[in-house]
């Protein structure tokens, strides 16, 4: 049923954000990203959206992106998978609670993982792999595509690391017969929501 499906999807997303709000080890950055997408078989376009970056340790980060543009939408693949897991299990008699649990666990899988390389006290590089992307791009042989990317960010911290400015570029493909290879480049400006723990600060 459409109402049931929409309700499950919203609940799975809420569990996803709540799960990562409990991470205590590293800093959390939340901000906006604007960029330019150029991939094979589609007209180039600009986009904008929101990103969440959770530093699990001083070096390792996980990230999520929700991006919008003209006939373009990008989000992590895991919540889509979590929705289908929750819906499938919930169709079993008395399986709604268990379905939501499995869906939530699936939904919090990150879109990508980065490794941070400090250049100094207030700057660094962060190469990353982002294997769990999901995109809506009408006009080709299909409208929706799972995909992945490898990329690089440069982080510049300002205001005692309260803000972070990060130009980025990535090479991306879709998991499709025609992979639509191309480039996405942009700029992220983020606010630190949580400082890293004292334990990590002395490591």
- For 149-186, the pLDDT digits (tens) are 999 999 999 988 899 999 999 999 999 889 999 999 99
**pLDDT (0 to 100) of residue 201:** 39
Per-residue pLDDT band for 77 (boundaries 50, 70, 90) equals confident
Higher pLDDT, 140 or 89: 140
d(CA 74, CA 69) in angstroms, rounded, equals 9
Q: What is the pLDDT of residue 170?
A: 98
CA dist 177 and 8 (Å) reads 31
CA 169 to centroid of chain Cα atoms: 15
Whole-angstrom Cα distance, residue 45 to residue 139? 14
Query: Three-class SS of residue 180?
Result: coil
Domains in the chain, ordered, with CATH? 25-77+111-201 (2.40.160.20)
pLDDT digits (tens, 9 = 90+) for 16-48: 444 444 434 678 999 999 999 999 999 999 999
Is the predicted pLDDT of residue 3 greater than 90, yes or no? no
pTM of this structure: 0.75
E strand segments, 40-111: 45-55, 60-69, 72-76
């Amino acid at each position: 049923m459409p109402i049931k499906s929409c309700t499950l999807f919203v609940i799975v997303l809420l569990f996803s954000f709540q799960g990562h709000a409990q991470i205590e080890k590293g800093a959390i950055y939340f901000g906006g990203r604007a960029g330019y997408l150029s991939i094979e078989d589609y007209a180039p376009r600009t986009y904008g959206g929101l990103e969440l970056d959770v530093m699990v340790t001083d070096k390792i980060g996980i990230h999520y992106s929700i991006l919008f543009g003209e006939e373009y939408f990008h989000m992590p693949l895991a919540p889509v998978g979590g929705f289908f897991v929750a819906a499938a299990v919930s169709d079993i008699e008395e399986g709604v609670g268990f379905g939501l649990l499995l869906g939530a666990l699936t939904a919090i899988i990150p879109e990508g993982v980065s490794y941070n390389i400090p250049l100094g006290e207030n700057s660094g590089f962060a190469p990353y792999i982002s294997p769990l992307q999901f995109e809506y791009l009408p006009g080709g042989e299909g409208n929706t595509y799972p995909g992945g990317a490898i990329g690089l960010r440069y982080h510049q911290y300002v205001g005692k690391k309260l803000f972070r400015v990060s130009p980025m570029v990535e090479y991306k493909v879709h998991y499709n017969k025609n992979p639509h290879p191309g480039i996405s480049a942009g700029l992220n400006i983020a606010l630190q929501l949580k400082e890293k723990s004292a334990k990590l600060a002395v490591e």
